[in-house]
Amino acid sequence: EPEVTQTPSHQVTQMGQEVILRCVPISNHLYFYWYRQILGQKVEFLVSFYNNEISEKSEIFDDQFSVERPDGSNFTLKIRSTKLEDSAMYFCASSTTGPLNYGYTFGSGTRLTVV
């Protein structure tokens, strides 16, 4: 069964450093998303991406964050100048359809720990 692949599975970084989280969505999917889940809290939307541009972003997704689809397969989330409160599980997801979506496929996540 097709999978969304995320790397690395765990990233530890110093406060103030930049991190890039990588995702390979399912090949025929057109919509891509990043979500995060702080330990013990609910899954929160960060950003959606379609046709090489951001289609929607949350209040969390400020200038510290950026996304990119540098080639036909990868989808990355960059976090600049990381803060302690950025520590969370970051999930990438993809889907074939957008607003009337019929389900996302999530990756297994990257656990980001900022120390």
Rounded distance, CA 31 to CA 41, Å?
25
Rounded distance, CA 54 to CA 49, Å?
4
φ and ψ of 86, to 5 deg: -80, -10
CA atoms within 13 A on the CB side of 17: 12
The nearest distance, CB 16 to other proteins, in angstroms, is 27
3-state secondary structure of 85: helix
Q: Contacting other proteins (CB under 8 A), which of 17, 98, 113, 115?
A: 98
What does the per-residue mask of binding to other proteins show for 68-87, with x meaning CB under 8 A?
--------------------
The nearest distance, CB 88 to other proteins, in angstroms, is 13
Q: How far is CA 97 from the centre of its chain?
A: 18
The nearer residue to other proteins, 15 or 54, going by C-beta atoms, is 54
Applying CB under 8 A, does 113 fall inside the site for other proteins? no
Applying CB under 8 A, does 111 fall inside the site for other proteins? yes
Residues 6-65 that bind other proteins (CB under 8 A): 31, 33, 35, 41-45, 48, 50, 55-56, 58
Rounded distance, CA 62 to CA 59, Å?
7
Query: Which residues contribute to the site for other proteins (CB under 8 A)?
Result: 4, 31, 33, 35, 41-45, 48, 50, 55-56, 58, 89, 91, 93, 98-109, 111
